[in-house]
């Protein structure tokens, strides 16, 4: 088995999908785990991007079906987490409107992130390192702060925190390990980015979200493809077993091997 086939098998991506069947499978997956965990619903942070929009749509279907079947309330809580002013936050709210999410909370993480960064810089200064946190370092603080807030809310409301992780992120390691990569359940994990888009169209994700360039929103102008130097078209083709440009394949495989530690559980001895 060559590396491409090994990666595909490990991430569980199919070369083609039946969109309706995939939606049904993932809604059932969410419902089953809510019941198994004894929780009262799902929490999804809605960034305004396509991945969280699809996850929100799946969550809402799952909790609506559970409520109808069980005769009791199950909640999908949509959480909006701007850092200061989020220029596209209207897209986050448009997703909530599209899926009829009546439970919504907005929590601005700017002050908390800045305080953590300042305290970290004081710590560095104490050992003779006089500098501000790097852009990437502060981006990681943002990702982890968002998760702290999500879990604070989820604990109080007895909800599961839903992640938006999918195979096109996993292959590149483009997530903060145990930051935005630490969640309770990941209903998109075996889909590539193209397949996530297919589900988005079927679920009715707003067009303004479908048209956006994918970004983690870590700093102004940041995009996934610009940060990685790999297009999602090449990424998705590779995960579907297709032949892609040799240079793109080399870059993708190097990125996969370099980030293996991000996909691994915490090692012990």
Handedness of CA 99, 162, 87, 107 (dihedral sign): positive
Distance CA 122, CA 114 (A): 12
Which residue's entry shows tokens 């309330």?
Answer: 73
Nearest to 171 by CA among 100, 106, 244, 116: 244
Distance CA 80, CA 244 (A): 37
Mean pLDDT for 243-249 is 93
pLDDT digits (tens, 9 = 90+) for 108-145: 999 999 999 999 999 999 999 999 999 989 999 999 99
Distances (CA, A) of 266 to 73, 116, 262: 36, 24, 9
Mean pLDDT for 28-32 is 98
Q: Locate 79 and state its tokens.
A: 């959480």
pLDDT digits (tens, 9 = 90+) for 229-240: 788 999 999 999
Whole-number pLDDT of residue 142: 94
pLDDT band at 222 (very low <50, low <70, confident <90, very high): low
Whole-number pLDDT of residue 20: 98
pLDDT band at 221 (very low <50, low <70, confident <90, very high): low
Distance CA 234, CA 256 (A): 14
Burial class (CB in 10 A: 0-12, 13-18, 19+), 45: buried
pLDDT digits (tens, 9 = 90+) for 153-174: 999 999 999 999 999 999 998 8
> Domain coordinates of the chain in residue numbers?
3-262
Which residue's entry shows tokens 């999500």?
Answer: 150
pLDDT digits (tens, 9 = 90+) for 95-112: 999 999 999 999 999 999
Whole-number pLDDT of residue 52: 96
Does the pLDDT at position 215 exceed 80?
no
Task: Please state which of the four CATH numbers 1.20.120.80, 3.40.50.620, 3.30.530.50, 3.30.565.10 is assigned to the domain occupying 3-262.
Answer: 3.40.50.620
Q: If you average pLDDT over every residue of the chain, what do you get?
A: 93
Taking each helix axis as running N to C, give the angle between helix 232-239 and helix 193-203, from 0 to 180 degrees, rounded to the nearest 10: 100
Query: Catalytic amino acids?
Result: 51, 169
Report the share of the chain in percent with pLDDT over 70: 94
Q: Name which residue leads in pLDDT, 178 or 26.
A: 26
Distance CA 94, CA 50 (A): 12
Does the pLDDT at position 213 exceed 90?
no
Classify 79 as helix, strand or coil.
Answer: strand
């Amino acid at each position: 088995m060559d590396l491409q086939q090994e990666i595909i098998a490990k991430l569980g991506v199919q070369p083609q999908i039946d969109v309706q069947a995939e939606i049904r499978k993932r809604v059932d997956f969410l419902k089953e785990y809510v019941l198994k965990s004894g929780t009262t619903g799902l929490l999804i942070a809605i960034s305004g991007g396509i991945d969280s929009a699809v996850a929100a749509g799946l969550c809402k279907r799952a909790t609506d079906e559970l409520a109808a079947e069980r005769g009791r309330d199950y909640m999908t809580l949509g959480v909006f987490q701007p850092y200061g002013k989020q220029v596209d936050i209207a897209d986050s709210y448009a997703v909530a409107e599209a899926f009829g999410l009546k439970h919504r909370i907005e929590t601005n993480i700017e002050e908390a992130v800045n305080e953590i960064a300042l305290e970290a810089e004081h710590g560095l200064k104490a050992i003779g390192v006089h500098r501000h946190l790097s852009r990437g370092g502060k981006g990681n603080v943002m990702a982890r702060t968002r998760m702290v807030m999500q879990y604070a809310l989820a604990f109080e409301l007895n909800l599961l925190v839903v992640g938006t992780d999918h195979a096109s992120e996993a292959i590149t390691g483009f997530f903060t390990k145990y930051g935005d990569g630490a969640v309770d359940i990941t209903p998109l994990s075996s889909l590539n980015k193209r397949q996530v888009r297919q589900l988005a169209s079927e679920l009715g994700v707003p067009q303004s979200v479908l048209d956006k360039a994918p970004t983690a929103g870590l700093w102004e102008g940041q995009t996934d493809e610009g940060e990685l130097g790999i297009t999602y078209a090449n990424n998705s083709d590779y995960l579907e077993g297709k032949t892609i440009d040799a240079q793109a394949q080399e870059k993708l495989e190097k990125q996969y091997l370099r980030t293996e530690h991000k996909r691994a559980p915490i090692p012990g001895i």
